[in-house]
Amino acid sequence: MNAQPKYTIAYSGFAPLNTDIFIADADGRNPKPFLASPALDFNASFSRDGRWIVFTSERNGSADIYRAHVDGTGLEQLTNDPPLTIRPLFHQTAARWHSFPPAAGMRNFGR
């Protein structure tokens, strides 16, 4: 018998003064903060292989796109674009991401 795959979800938790990303089981149980920060973190998207999460954060004073491994390690800022950079999404058939509106300095990166 084949084991069922384990699915994970990422979601933003909205509080009066902060927004953070949480990682939980597919049914919403066992939520854990992804990268707790006093800044706003939102719009998380998983990479196709499940190793990375891209997300928007205001941790450097403006909305930019970051990525980190699902376990929270390897945090890296991907854009430095003072105009609003809102929605990072992984491309479903290639190892690259897109943002809406398009961000300056977008780049491809490995899976």
**Per-residue pLDDT reduced to its tens digit, 32-68:** 889 988 888 988 888 888 889 989 898 888 888 899 9
Count of domains observed in the chain: 1
Q: Let me know if residue 2 belongs to a domain.
A: no
Q: Classify residue 12 as exposed, middle or buried by CB count within 10 Å of its CB (0-12, 13-18, 19+).
A: middle
**Per-residue pLDDT for 74 more than 80?**
yes
**Per-residue pLDDT for 86 more than 70?**
no
Q: Let me know if residue 105 belongs to a domain.
A: no
**Per-residue pLDDT for 4 more than 60?**
no
Q: Let me know if residue 107 belongs to a domain.
A: no
Q: Let me know if residue 26 belongs to a domain.
A: yes
Domain that holds residue 93: 13-100
Q: Let me know if residue 109 belongs to a domain.
A: no
Residue count (the chain): 111
